[in-house]
Amino acid sequence: MARTASLSGYLELLPAERLVELHLLDTLREVFEAHGYSNLETRAVETVDTLLQKGEIDKEIYAISRIHDDDAAKEAKLALRFDNTVPFARYVTENAGHLAFPYRRYQIQKVWRGERPQAGRFREFTQADIDIVGEGALSTRADVEIAVVMAKALQTLQIGEFTLRVNSRKLSEGFYQAIGLTETAAVLRAVDKLEKIGPDRVARELSETAGATEEQARQALSLAQIRTADTSFASQVRELLPADAAGAELLEEGLAELTEVVDELNARVPGRAEADLSIARGLDYYTGTVIETVLRGHEELGSICSGGRYESLATKGKRSFPGVGLSIGVTRLLSALVDSGELGASRTVPTAVYVTLRADEDWAAAQDVADQLRARGISAEVAFSAEKFGKQIKYADKRGIPFVWFTDGDGGHEVKDIRSGEQTAADPASWSPPAEDLTPQIIHKTAEG
């Protein structure tokens, strides 16, 4: 993947890399469906107004229009989706009468953002999302389920050690209100930058955008430094509150919800989660639990899986559809693991057998052989012309095909393992390759091993 791209920010995969990507996508799909999530695909295009209502990413949205429209940039009313969540919310409101709530769905599609291309950052990339949406209300147990399912998916991918870093926006906003900070959205946006710009610059931004005093900035930063593997964060938060703090109902609600989530995660996927009160998430639609995921050995990627609870992203008249969801940046994860050699494929093509031609007129008979193999689940290709056997074998080797099939003039068959050179008699009605050669195998090598 390190090769030069003709258009920066847009990833194109070589055959072996695509096999790894398909493995990731198939694994995610299997885990999601095992937990009852149904698949959904939404359109790539949304109205600009729909996208601009959600979050602080207007500079990253790609507007689209016909090439011959006058003043296209000014008049564009449509844009490419920047994530799967906003289109999903639109889908829910438009189709609420046809859905059973709570509605569980997974969605694996490409999204587009006008980011500056760099390592792990693309303008076109694939995201894999899972969400649970309720009608009117949704239990905190949905927050737990989403996190558990995603943790199991990441475990099944065998990508190495990871940690779900969990917080509650209710907790954070309640704390800010208790210490007298009313511009909580501005505080959250500033704190969300803590790992990127450091505490001094965050404190300065808190003063400039949220009107924080030096003491309030210190308290907000102290909250962000709390990180525990259990529920002891709750007592640490209360210790930070001044004795004369105003009512903290929202804070207590957030503490209770985060305690439930962390407790259940420790029971269901032990060692995979921690409470981290620095997590804020930059998008404005999150209202409760928020989650980011760090992959050990690839901390430079930032969060490989993130999301959280939203109460009002989807509404229709007096009806509201609260939900919770998580998203994996599949392309970011794939590029890092393939480039590092931690994930690879045992061969570049699905083909297990290359059926050679002794003479051009044997092509139909060779197709019959291939069809017999395919009928038993063995992927096979047939040569187009009767070149020298050495050239046909060389082609198969270059393609990464492990076995070459020969048929002699009397109708006898032999198959050759071109890796070892071993050649044996074979019957197309019964021969099979070793199990490990039937399909390409995904090779896992963790950063630690």
Q: How far apart are CA 54 and CA 39, in angstroms?
A: 23
Q: Is 281 annotated as a binding residue?
A: yes
285 known ligand binder: yes
Q: Is 367 annotated to bind ligand?
A: no
Chain mean position to CA 356: 41
Q: How does strand 319-320 pair with strand 315-316?
A: antiparallel
84 among annotated binding-site residues: yes
Q: 267: Cβ–Cβ under 8 A, 6 or more apart, which residues?
A: none
CA 306 – CA 286 distance, rounded (Å): 11
Query: Is 131 part of any known ligand binding site?
Result: yes
DSSP H stretches of helix in 232-362: 233-240, 249-268, 330-339
309 among the known binding-site residues?
A: no
* Dist CA 102 CA 99 (whole Å): 9
Say if CB 389 and CB 356 are below 8 A apart.
Answer: yes
83 is in an annotated binding site: yes
Does 85 show up as a binding residue in the annotation? yes
Rounded CA gap, 238 and 171, in Å?
A: 11
Determine if residue 427 is labeled as part of a ligand binding site. no
Alpha-carbon span 289 to 165, nearest angstrom: 11
* Angle in degrees, CA 118, 122, 126, rounded to 5: 150
Specify binding-site residues for L-histidine.
83-85, 113, 127, 131, 281, 285-286
Specify binding-site residues.
83-85, 113, 127, 131, 281, 285-286
